[in-house]
Structure 1
Amino acid sequence: MKLRALSAVVAAFVVVAAGAVALDLELSPYKVVNGLSGKLKSVGSDTMHHEMELWAEGFQSIYPNVSIELVGKGSNTAPPALLSGDAQLGPMSRQMTPDEIAAFQAKFGYKPTAVLVAIDALAIYVHKDNPLPCISMEQMERVFAADPKSGGGKSIRTWGELGLTGEWAAKPIAMYSRNTLSGTYKFFKQHVLSGADFKDDIKMQVGSEAVVSAVGADKYAMGYSGIGYKTAGVRAVPLSSGKSCYDASFDNTYSRKYPLARGLYVYLLKDPKKPIDTLSGEFVTYVLSRDGQTQAKKGGYYPITRNIREHELTRLGLLASAR
C-alpha cells in the first residue's frame, strides 16, 4: 500500500540522509506584540482538540484580552464553519477534499490556506497485554475492510489469523474506529482501505480518546487514533508496508518509514491579495514558534522543523515580523 505525499505544504517535512533523519528543530521564541485583543473561534478536528486547548491557553496567558472558543467534533465540521463565517480557525487532521476547496473558491474567489502545525503518527492500538509484534498495511486492510482487495479478498477476523497462539488464537478481533465526521476516519479509509467500506460490525466512537479508552478496556480489541492519545492501557503496534516493521517514533514518522505519518493542519480564510487578519496571524505565529511547538510536544505530537516554520510564515506574509 503506497503512502501518498502529504502535499506541497509539507515539502520540508523530511530530510533523510543514509537512513537517518537530519532535522533542524531550533525554532525562534514567540515575540509578544502590544495591545492584542479580540475573539477567535476554532471549529474542527477532535484529534487536535486537546492540542488546540493547549495552544489557546498558552496564547491567552500572553493576551488576557483575547478570548478563544473551541469546538472539536471532527475535521468534517471545519470546512462548513469556515465557509459560513462561524469560525476563523479550522483544525483538521486531514487535507481538505477537492470538493471542499472548490466550495471556498466559488464563494470567496480564492482557496482556503492550510497551515501545517504539527506532525502525527496515526497509531494502531491494541490492549497493553496483547503480544502482537507487528502488523502490515495489508493485514490491517483485511481486518477492517468489508471487502478487502489484499490477501485474495480473505478477511481477517481472529487474532490467530494474525499469528497469535494460545488463548488468543480463536478470539475475534473487536474493531474500534472514529466516526464519519472525523478526518482520522477519512485518512484511515483512504490510506489503509483504499477508499473501501469498513466492516459492518466495527464499533464507531465519537472521539479519538474514546477509541483508545475502548481498546484499553477490551483485551481483544484493535483501533486507530493519533499517537498523542496513547495511554498506559494500550500498545501502539509497529507497522510494515514491506519487509521491515517500524514503530511510531519521532524518527520513523519524519522519515516516513512509519507508513501512517500525517500532517496536522489549521485552515484559514486568507485572501492572497490582502494581509492576514492580525489576531489569526498572531495565533498562528505563536503556534509555529518554539513556545507553541513545546505545547505540541506536551500534547503528544511531533513538532515542526525550522524549514516548515519558515515556509509557512513566508506563505502567510508573517516571517519578517516573527523573526
Structure 2
Amino acid sequence: MRYGGRLHRLHHLLVVVWLLLCCSFAWGQPSVVSGTLGAVGSDTMAGLMLRWGEALNHRYPDITLQFQAGGSASAPTALVAGTTRFGPMSRPMTDTERQQFIERYGYPPRELSVARDALLLVVHRHNPLASLTREQADAIFSTSLDCGGLRPIRRWEDLLPEEQWPYGKIALHGRNLASGTHGLFQDRALCNGEFRRDISEHPGSSAVIAAVGESPNAMGYAGYNHVTPMVRALPLINDEGSAISPSVATIQDDSYPLSRDLYLYVNLPPGDTLPPAEQAFIELIFSEEGQQIVQAAGFVPLPLAQRQPPLLDH
C-alpha cells in the first residue's frame, strides 16, 4: 500500500513537471516571424535596402525582402496602386504624390527618415576648382538662372580665369528624370529652375561618377556614397560665405548645403499596426545594427536623437 502510494505521488509529480516544462517552453520561445516583404523605389537606396534585407533575414530566416529599384518616382505609384507597403525615396514626396495617395486611401502615408545623405558636385580628381557657390552651380546646370546668377556659365575659363585651363566647354553629367536625386538637385541647387538640355543623363550615380572620372573637362552631381578616388567633391559656399566640404559631420548636422534625408514611406491605415515581419524590418532600420549598415553602405547614420523606432499607429 505504501509502495502504491509512492508510485501515485511520483506519477503526479512527473505530470506536474511535464506541464511546467511545456508551459515554460511555450512561454520562453519567441513566435516565428515570417513573410515576404515588398518594397519599390529609389535606386540610390537599392544597396542599402538589400543590406537591411540580408540582416533581417539573418535575424529571422523566414522573412525575405524583395526590392524593385525603379527610382524614387516609382515609389508613390506603387504605394497608390497597393502593390507594396514600403516605398523608399531619396527625396520627399511631392504634394501631388501625397495627395494622390490620400485620394486613394483616405489617409496620408507615413514618412520615416531612415538615413542621411547629400548631393555632391564632383569634378575630375585633377581639376583645380576650389569651390562653388549656389549661384554658380545654378548658372552651370540650368537655363533659367533662378538662384540669382547674372549669366550662364558654359566654359571652364568662366570659373577659372587665372588658370591655364585647356579644357574649354564644361561637359555635364547628371541623373535621369525618374531619379529622386534629379528632382532634389533641381529643387535645391537650381531653385526649381530648368535643366540644360545638353546634360548627359544616367540611370545611376555610379555612372555619373565614372563619366566625370574619365573626363578632365567634366562636372556632375551624384549621391555621397558613390564618390571614388577618380573624382573630387567640391566644397559649397553657404549663405555666410564659408566653404563647407561634405563629411559625416556636416551632413549629419545639415550644415553642408545639399544635405538630405533618405526616406521610407509606409502605407499604414490609422489605428492599425504593422504585421510582425514589417515591424521587425522597421525596428532593424532604427537599431544600432541598422544604422551601422547605413554607414557601411556609404551613407550617414541618423543623429542619435532620431534613432528611436517610431510608433506606427498614427
Shorter-normalised TM range: 0.7 to 0.9
Larger Rg: 2
Which 10-residue stretch deviates more, 162-171 or 35-44? 162-171
Structure 2 counterpart of 1:293, from 277, 291, 294: 291
CA-CA distance at 1:170 after TM superposition: 5.1
TM-score by length of 2: 0.86
Q: Which residue of 1 aligns with 2:146?
A: 149
Higher relative contact order (CA 8 A, sep 6+): 1
Q: Is this contact kept in 2: 1:161–1:169, CA < 8 A?
A: no
> Aligned partners of 2:254 and 2:166: how far apart in 1?
32
Structure 1 counterpart of 2:206, from 203, 206, 209: 209
TM-score by length of 1: 0.84
In the alignment, does 2:307 pair up with 1:316? no
> Aligned partners of 2:43 and 2:251: how far apart in 1?
21
In the alignment, does 2:52 pair up with 1:55? yes
Q: Which residue of 2 aligns with 1:136?
A: 133
What pairs with 1:251-270 in structure 2 (closer than 5 Å)? 251-270=249-268
CA-CA distance at 1:315 after TM superposition: 3.5
Q: Which residue of 1 aligns with 2:26?
A: none
In the alignment, does 2:157 pair up with 1:160? yes
CA-CA distance at 1:307 after TM superposition: 1.8
> Aligned partners of 1:164 and 1:126: how far apart in 2?
17
Structure 2 counterpart of 1:191, from 188, 192, 209: 188
Structure 2 counterpart of 1:111, from 108, 111, 125: 108
> Aligned partners of 2:35 and 2:262: how far apart in 1?
25
Give the residue type in structure 2 aligned to 1:214.
A
What pairs with 1:215-294 in structure 2 (closer than 5 Å)? 215-242=212-239, 243-294=241-292
Q: Which residue of 1 aligns with 2:170?
A: 173
Q: Deviations over 1:74-120 (max 9, x none)?
A: 10000011111222211101110111111111111110011111001
Q: Is this contact kept in 1: 2:134–2:147, CA < 8 A?
A: no
How many percent identity over aligned positions?
A: 35
Q: 1:85 to 1:150 in 2, by over 3 A?
A: closer
Q: 1:182 to 1:265 in 2, by over 3 A?
A: same
Q: Which residue of 1 aligns with 2:18?
A: none
Q: Is this contact kept in 2: 1:51–1:296, CA < 8 A?
A: yes
Q: Which residue of 2 aligns with 1:7?
A: none
Q: Which residue of 2 aligns with 1:95?
A: 92
Q: Is this contact kept in 1: 2:270–2:313, CA < 8 A?
A: no
Give the residue type in structure 2 aligned to 1:316.
L
CA-CA distance at 1:151 after TM superposition: 5.5
CA-CA distance at 1:234 after TM superposition: 0.9
Q: Which residue of 1 aligns with 2:6?
A: none
Structure 1's unaligned 5+ residue stretches are 1-31, 319-323
Give the residue type in structure 2 aligned to 1:231.
T
> Aligned partners of 2:313 and 2:304: how far apart in 1?
16
Q: Deviations over 1:122-162 (max 9, x none)?
A: 11111111121111111000000012135554100111211
> Aligned partners of 1:252 and 1:222: how far apart in 2?
22
- Aligned-residue Cα RMSD (Å) equals 1.8
In the alignment, does 2:77 pair up with 1:80? yes
Q: Is this contact kept in 2: 1:46–1:208, CA < 8 A?
A: no
Give the residue type in structure 2 aligned to 1:267.
Y
> Aligned partners of 1:309 and 1:152: how far apart in 2?
39
Q: 1:33 to 1:237 in 2, by over 3 A?
A: farther
SS in structure 2 opposite 1:186? Answer: helix
SS in structure 2 opposite 1:292? Answer: helix
> Aligned partners of 2:121 and 2:181: how far apart in 1?
12
